Amino acid sequence: MTSIVQILYILLTVIWWIIVIQAVMSWLIAFNVINTHNDMVRSIWTALDRMTEPLYRPIRRILPDFGALDLSPLVVLLILYILMNVVLPNMLSTVAG
């Protein structure tokens, strides 16, 4: 059971970093530091968007519209933080205890 919890922790960490990378990349695109006309940038952006959109979609339905400000990545990061630092350690201590 501990190996399952460790695999879940690694998976959640990867998702965390994907969201952080997408957020940084969106800021770089917004400030014209990188350009989406570049094929590599566009392919990375599309891949990140396809990975994160299923996570954001249900949260965007619940959150009110803030215009250009999208808070769904922040909510997903908060949920991931709770899972990684509260739920998984409790699962591990329950199994070990």
Q: What percent of the chain has pLDDT over 70?
A: 98
Instruction: Enter the tokens of residue 74.
Output: 């922040």
pLDDT in tens, 13-58: 999 999 999 999 999 999 999 999 999 999 999 999 999 999 999 9
* Residue 86 Cα distances to 19, 54, 83, 96, angstroms: 20, 23, 6, 16
pTM of the model: 0.89
Residue 97 pLDDT level (bands cut at 50, 70, 90): low
- From CA 67, how far away is CA 62, in angstroms rounded? 15
From the number of C-beta atoms within 10 Å of its C-beta (0-12, 13-18, 19+), residue 19 rates as: buried
Task: Find the mean pLDDT for residues 67-90.
Answer: 94
